[in-house]
Amino acid sequence: MKHEPHLRGSVFHRLLRARLSETYHPTQADIEAVACKIWQDGFSSMEGRPWHDLVPGSDDHCRMIGAARMALGV
- Could you report the per-residue pLDDT of 14-52, keeping only the tens digit for each? 777 777 777 778 899 989 999 999 999 888 877 788 999
pLDDT, position 59: 95
Position with higher pLDDT, 58 vs 43: 58
Distance CA 35, CA 47 (A): 15
Q: Residues 6 or more apart from 1 whose CB is under 8 A from it?
A: 40, 44, 45, 50
Stretch 55-74: mean pLDDT, rounded? 93
